[in-house]
Amino acid sequence: MPRFPTGSTRRMLALLALCAAGPAFAGKTLDTIKQKDVLVVGVSTGLAGFSAADSQGKWSGLDVDVGKAVAAAILSDPEKVRWVPLTPQQRFTALQAGEVDLLSRNTTFTLTRDASLGLHQTAITFYDGQGFLVGTKSKITSAKQLKNATVCVQTGTTTEKNLTDYSRAQNLNIKPVVFDKLEAANAAYFGGRCVAYTTDASGLASIRAKEAKNPKEHVILPELISKEPLGPLVRRGDDEFFAIVKWVIYGLIEAEEYGITQANVDKLKADSTDPVVQRLLGKSEDTGKLLGLDRDWLVRAVKAVGNYGEIFERNVGASTVVGLPRGKNALWTQGGLHYAPPIR
């Protein structure tokens, strides 16, 4: 009689097969992107510092740069992107339906979104928290002073639910004034319809910088009432594309940690003797084949937009109109939360 492998033997054979696995096979999303020769990215309808279009229709922002980095890694050109502005109500449906390949739109990672929408959360690009914006003339210095106050909020967001939870927990009887679109919420707050405005603190800084006649007349209160880890999402069912987006983000973070910048990436690839830098830039190892890409995938991404620190400072950093400190968005080596798994 033929001898069938035991359980331990089967496990050993499976392990050997896994170790012998070759390059990743391109998934259907990657194939489609290459066939179209364009990456379709869902972005906000206009949030300065994250994703906003200028008068010529040119998009910029932290979320935009993530999309450009992915396009550079896949298509060798950061400009081969079609930007699709989406409201909070539209964003998940558009991704589910295949209208966009990637959602890079200041979206909070939550269990519900990761487990029940047919979507995958990739990697966190911005650590945030929900706050409140008030006029300095109101003399309000704490969110706990918002008892019975009207607060502008956008529907279809975690923000709306967090506001309700906070109001109940603090017995504040806050009265939400709800809007479908960001522009309507902005207009209502600055028009005096609401005592306060609530969304992610980064969003409040962006709105204050862009929409206020005098930004100094508005202050973000010190309390953050939630955790809002933001990052891109992709559709479930295509692990290859999921891995590409995730590792492009990790690559930008790892590049900052090892001093690889938009300006020096070519020189470091040619001259660096650091084994980690050599591996990151494809000189000593070809990590690209594991993602269905070539060995220069990360070189192109960094050349297109810079490392994570450069992206942050250019779009939302202290020298921009948004004016955010690195804070939690610093590298783990500098007291922040950004920590990339090894690219090896």
Give me the residue spans of the domains in the chain.
28-127+230-326, 130-226
Same CATH fold, 130-226 and 28-127+230-326? yes
Question: Quick one: pLDDT at residue 24?
Answer: 44
Phi-psi region of 141 (alpha: psi -120 to 50; beta: other; left: phi over 0): alpha
**235-276: per-residue pLDDT in tens?**
999 999 999 999 999 999 999 999 999 999 999 999 999 999
3-state secondary structure of 235: strand
Q: Which CATH superfamily is domain 28-127+230-326 in?
A: Periplasmic binding protein-like II (3.40.190.10)
Fill in the DSSP letter of residue 4. Answer: P
Give the confidence band of 6 by pLDDT, cuts at 50, 70, 90.
low
Question: Quick one: pLDDT at residue 156?
Answer: 83
Q: Rounded to an integer, what distance in angstroms lies between the CA atom of residue 163 and that of residue 58?
A: 34
CA dist 104 → 20, 62, 86, 195, 269 (Å):
35, 9, 10, 31, 29
AA letter at 135: G
C-beta separation of 100 from 91 below 8 A? no
Specify the CATH class of 130-226 in words: alpha beta
Q: Rounded to an integer, what distance in angstroms lies between the CA atom of residue 341 and that of residue 95?
A: 27
From the CB of residue 84, how many other CB atoms can be counted at a distance below 10 Å?
Answer: 19
Q: Rounded to an integer, what distance in angstroms lies between the CA atom of residue 13 and that of residue 7?
A: 10
**104-143: per-residue pLDDT in tens?**
999 999 999 999 999 999 999 999 999 999 999 999 999 9
- Identify the weakest region by mean pLDDT among 3-12, 33-42, 145-154, 173-182: 3-12
pLDDT at position 22 over 70: no
Residue 113: which of 129, 144, 92 has the closest Cα? 92
Q: Rounded to an integer, what distance in angstroms lies between the CA atom of residue 307 and that of residue 251?
A: 8
C-beta separation of 150 from 175 below 8 A? yes
Question: Quick one: pLDDT at residue 4?
Answer: 45
Q: Sheet containing 196-200: which strands, arranged edge to edge? A: 175-179, 150-154, 196-200, 130-135, 218-220
Longest dimension (CA), the chain: 89
- Identify the weakest region by mean pLDDT among 23-32, 149-158, 190-199, 264-273: 23-32
3-state secondary structure of 41: strand
Q: How much is the pTM?
A: 0.88
Q: Which two tokens stand for residue 22?
A: 């070759």
Contacts with 214 (C-beta within 8 Å, 6 or more apart), sequence order: none
